[in-house]
Structure 1
């Protein structure tokens, strides 16, 4: 597995743990639909939440949030709608959140051994 893929999976695990502590129920990890993949799908109270996780080992390529442009955001909203259609949950309120995780530590180590330098959570990104 490529180092960037390992980094992404570690970030998703850290984000899922964080969201669970915030009261979210994790429904899906790496859900794949016909048009793409959502990193996490959670339930936060009455809302269904698609969570995009961007993980970096530094800001050499810019802040993780910079990777979310208008096209990517529109795609995330479409994917969440696809998920709702597949589950017959069109009646549910829904939103898209983005989590940025900045790590330090070796790519080969397990997630518990990574130091989270910073975790930022943007809610209801539109």
Structure 2
């Protein structure tokens, strides 16, 4: 499972780099919580959650993020800002979802800016 997740996070990283974002860090952890990618787009920090689903059932990868996960991601992002000595209300940031659906040549990537 970890190997699959790493593959799709690398795919997401490559995709976002092609869109002009630069990597700040990968797999930022606070205890058991993790942010997949932290990127920078100009002056904005972008916290990216990567989701993969082989099929679009139940809405696919775009709908695979629960409210509990969103809450954990927000708290982990706050912790990241604290470790970098950045003020939450003075730092431009957003939360994006990069959703990958399908298999092989049939994969579709959806990049949802300001997803939550």
- Which band: TM-score by shorter chain? 0.7 to 0.9
The answer to whether the aligner puts 1:79 opposite 2:76 as a matched pair is: yes
- SS state of the match for residue 10, structure 1? helix
Corresponding residue of 1:17? 14
> Given that residues 51 and 99 in structure 2 are in contact (C-alpha distance below 8 angstroms), is that contact kept between their aligned partners in structure 1?
yes
- SS state of the match for residue 88, structure 1? coil
Q: Deviations 1:13-42 (Å, cap 9, x if unpaired)? A: 010001101111111111112351110000
Q: How many residues align?
A: 114
Corresponding residue of 1:111? none
Change in Cα spacing, 1:7 to 1:39, as seen in structure 2 (3 Å) is: same
TM-score, normalised to structure 2, is 0.87
> Given that residues 101 and 116 in structure 1 are in contact (C-alpha distance below 8 angstroms), is that contact kept between their aligned partners in structure 2?
no
Cα RMSD after superposing both structures: 1.7
The answer to whether the aligner puts 1:37 opposite 2:27 as a matched pair is: no
- Alpha-carbon distance between aligned partners in 1 of 2:20 and 2:106, rounded to the nearest angstrom: 20
Unaligned runs of 5+ in 1: 106-114
Q: Deviations 1:59-101 (Å, cap 9, x if unpaired)? A: 3565112221222112211111110100112232111100111
Question: Which stretches of structure 1, 4 residues or more, deviate above 6 A after TM superposition?
Answer: none
- Alpha-carbon distance between aligned partners in 2 of 1:37 and 1:72, rounded to the nearest angstrom: 10
Unaligned runs of 5+ in 2: none
Which residue, 91, 100, 120 being the options, matches 2:110? 120
Q: From the two aligned structures, give the one with the greater helix fraction.
A: 2
Corresponding residue of 2:46? 49
